[in-house]
Amino acid sequence: MKSAMHPESLMMTYGYKPELSEGAVKPPIFQTSTFVFKTAQEGKAFFEIAYGLREKGRNEELGLIYSRINNPNLEILEDRLCLWDKAEQCAVFESGMSAISTVLLEFLKPGDLLLYSLPTYGGTDHFINHFLKEIGVDSIGFRPDHNINEIIKMVEETGKSDKLALIYIETPANPTNVLIDIEMCKEVANHFGTSEKQVYLATDNTYMGPLWSHPLQLGADLVIYSATKYIGGHSDLIAGAVLGNSEVISRVKTLRTFLGNMASPHTCWLLLRSLETLKVRMEQQARNAQEIANFLKQHPKISKVHYLGCLEESSKSFEIYKRQYASPGAMIAFEIQGKEREAFQFLNHLKLIKLAVSLGSTESLVQHPATMTHTGLCPDLKKKIGITEGLIRLSVGVENYEDLIADIDYALDKIEYSEDYDFERNENRPRLKRRV
Ligand SMILES: *Cc1c(COP(=O)(O)O)cnc(C)c1O
């Protein structure tokens, strides 16, 4: 049974017994490939469980065998990650992409149909539209503005609705923070599922988890993370995680054993270090983000701010936001008046905020989706989902927000417009004041 304490109280100690490691207060790095069995009988028993040849006995744990299958750092990390999402089991991977591709390979077979939300992370999109397509997995994408009836109709029109095996969503959608309704997607999964064949729902929760959103509680079967982002949080590692009930995670872990894409003991150790400060980091990042969003909203050179803390209370998005999220998060996208030239002038004049892709780290990072993370999208989709030339994505870090705002203000000031530049009206500002 899981403890009733808050996860943040357990991130320093849960799942680790100092007496097994010379009393060390922190788990050592178990930098070993293999583990010594006490007896041949013990080795046999461990392998029977690892290979699923028999059920675990009462109180029987999977013993340590070989670090591709299990390792103390990996196991402690997986136990701690389960606490945030109240999951039965977790599998940690060497990258977010290996977590995602392993889930897609386990739950989709040639001939199956995948339904997924647009836009999705570039690597995920590539895996779906190149690798999966080539092995005979068809897919269709839906946009956040499609409603449940439209989505069901789209699936039916493929003529393969009986082959629908997985729904894969990413919310809030990168880079503009558009929301996908998780419970609505579960309804779609139930609509096409039968007593013989369940349609599974997987959610990439990298943007808001594991602190502010718990998709498993809203009906998702699998929740996926790029642990490179908030969970790792220091831009010093690449990792991924998948959580869910024992049935689905056993399947994922079995495939992981044979693909060999588990995280290393050292990466797991770094992630254990990171989990201790996860909540304080994310809360500070969200506080900073709200201050920055408020500043951007009233700036004359900004035409739009996409931040969940700025949603209209009467909008459909606000209703989904209230149901799914406990915070507006720390990711902001905003549109600079102008084109690529003006956006680049802004980016090139930032000093404290670093120009780099990735997100969720202690330092603030900024990038230009149209020419960087989303450069591969077709122009039509870019337009439909609002990836304009002036769009900037900002991942807010733990710095003092006044310094971040000063940095942004300076760089905005450095954008030069021609005398007769026709400013769009910024709906957040009552009056257009020209500061050219
Ligand atoms: C970064 C990211 C990924 C990929 O994770 P890696 O750790 O880079 O492999 C997947 N989904 C989202 C939303 C991401 O931001």
Architecture of domain 278-422: Alpha-Beta Complex (3.90)
pLDDT on residue 381: 86
Q: What one-character DSSP code corresponds to residue 173?
A: B
Give, using CA atoms, the residue closest to atom 6 of ligand 1.
Answer: 96
| Residue 46 pLDDT exceeds 60 | yes
Cis ω on the peptide bond leading into residue 175 (within 30° of 0)?
yes
Pairing of strands 222-226, 240-244: antiparallel
The residue ranges of every structural domain in the chain are: 2-32+67-275, 278-422
pLDDT on residue 209: 86
pLDDT on residue 432: 47
pLDDT on residue 425: 65
| Residue 413 pLDDT exceeds 50 | yes
The 8 Å CB, 24+ separation contacts for 213-217 are 213/324, 213/325, 213/326, 214/84, 214/85, 214/86, 215/85, 215/182, 215/324, 216/85, 216/86, 216/87, 216/243, 216/244, 217/86
pLDDT on residue 431: 46
Q: What is the pTM of this model?
A: 0.94
**How many angstroms does the Cα of residue 432 sit away from the middle of ligand 1?**
39
Query: Which tokens in the block code for residue 158?
Result: 């493929």
| Cβ neighbours around 192 below 10 Å, total | 20
Give, using CA atoms, the residue closest to atom 7 of ligand 1.
Answer: 96
User: Sorting pLDDT into bands at 50, 70 and 90, what band is 2?
Assistant: low
pLDDT on residue 430: 45
Q: Can you tell me which atom of ligand 1 is nearest the CA of 97?
A: 9
| Residue 357 pLDDT exceeds 90 | yes
User: Sorting pLDDT into bands at 50, 70 and 90, what band is 426?
Assistant: low
Note the pLDDT tens digit of each residue in 263-322. 999 999 999 999 999 999 999 999 999 999 999 999 999 999 999 999 999 999 999 999
Q: Establish whether residue 170 lines the binding site of ligand 1, counting it when its CB lies within 6 angstroms of any ligand atom.
A: yes
Q: Establish whether residue 125 lines the binding site of ligand 1, counting it when its CB lies within 6 angstroms of any ligand atom.
A: no
pLDDT on residue 54: 87
| Residue 187 pLDDT exceeds 90 | yes
Is 2-32+67-275 a CATH 3.40.640.10 domain?
Answer: yes
Q: Which of 221, 223, 228, 222 is nearest to 210 (CA)?
A: 223
- Higher pLDDT pick, 436 / 411: 411
Q: Which residues contact 75 (CB under 8 A, 6 or more apart)?
A: 15
Note the pLDDT tens digit of each residue in 198-220. 999 999 999 998 999 999 999 99
Q: Return the minimum-mean-pLDDT range out of 92-106, 231-245, 378-392.
A: 378-392
Mean pLDDT of 383-403: 96
Note the pLDDT tens digit of each residue in 221-261. 999 999 999 999 999 999 999 999 999 999 999 999 999 99
Q: Return the minimum-mean-pLDDT range out of 22-26, 278-282, 326-330, 375-379.
A: 375-379
SS3 36: coil
- Residue of 124, 225, 229 to test ligand 1 pocket, by largest number of atoms within 8 Å of CB: 229
Query: Which tokens in the block code for residue 256?
Result: 């992981």
Mean pLDDT of 153-161: 98
Q: Establish whether residue 228 lines the binding site of ligand 1, counting it when its CB lies within 6 angstroms of any ligand atom.
A: yes
Note the pLDDT tens digit of each residue in 110-120. 999 999 999 89
Cα–Cα distance measured from residue 22 to residue 25, given in angstroms and rounded to the nearest whole number: 9
| Cβ neighbours around 15 below 10 Å, total | 16
* Contact in structure between 49 and 62 (CB atoms under 8 Å): yes
**How many angstroms does the Cα of residue 100 sit away from the middle of ligand 1?**
9
Give, using CA atoms, the residue closest to atom 8 of ligand 1.
Answer: 96
Mean pLDDT of 54-69: 89
**How many angstroms does the Cα of residue 152 sit away from the middle of ligand 1?**
28
Q: Which of 301, 333, 248, 272 is nearest to 414 (CA)?
A: 301
Mean pLDDT of 82-95: 98
CA of 52: how far to CAs of 62, 254, 310, in Å?
11, 9, 50
Mean pLDDT of 190-202: 97
Mean pLDDT of 187-202: 97
- Residue of 102, 104, 121 to test ligand 1 pocket, by largest number of atoms within 8 Å of CB: 121
Q: Which residues contact 418 (CB under 8 A, 6 or more apart)?
A: none
Query: Which tokens in the block code for residue 43?
Result: 């080795």
**How many angstroms does the Cα of residue 371 sit away from the middle of ligand 1?**
18
**How many angstroms does the Cα of residue 168 sit away from the middle of ligand 1?**
14
pLDDT on residue 385: 87
Q: Establish whether residue 121 lines the binding site of ligand 1, counting it when its CB lies within 6 angstroms of any ligand atom.
A: yes
Q: Which residues contact 51 (CB under 8 A, 6 or more apart)?
A: none
Q: Establish whether residue 123 lines the binding site of ligand 1, counting it when its CB lies within 6 angstroms of any ligand atom.
A: yes
Q: Establish whether residue 97 lines the binding site of ligand 1, counting it when its CB lies within 6 angstroms of any ligand atom.
A: yes
pLDDT on residue 428: 54
- Residue of 101, 118, 226 to test ligand 1 pocket, by largest number of atoms within 8 Å of CB: 226
Cα–Cα distance measured from residue 225 to residue 237, given in angstroms and rounded to the nearest whole number: 14
Give, using CA atoms, the residue closest to atom 1 of ligand 1.
Answer: 226
| Residue 433 pLDDT exceeds 50 | no
User: Sorting pLDDT into bands at 50, 70 and 90, what band is 423?
Assistant: confident
**How many angstroms does the Cα of residue 19 sit away from the middle of ligand 1?**
37
Residue 120 has φ and ψ, to the nearest 5°, of -120, 165
Q: Establish whether residue 219 lines the binding site of ligand 1, counting it when its CB lies within 6 angstroms of any ligand atom.
A: no
Q: Which residues contact 124 (CB under 8 A, 6 or more apart)?
A: 97, 100, 116, 168, 170, 204
**How many angstroms does the Cα of residue 401 sit away from the middle of ligand 1?**
26
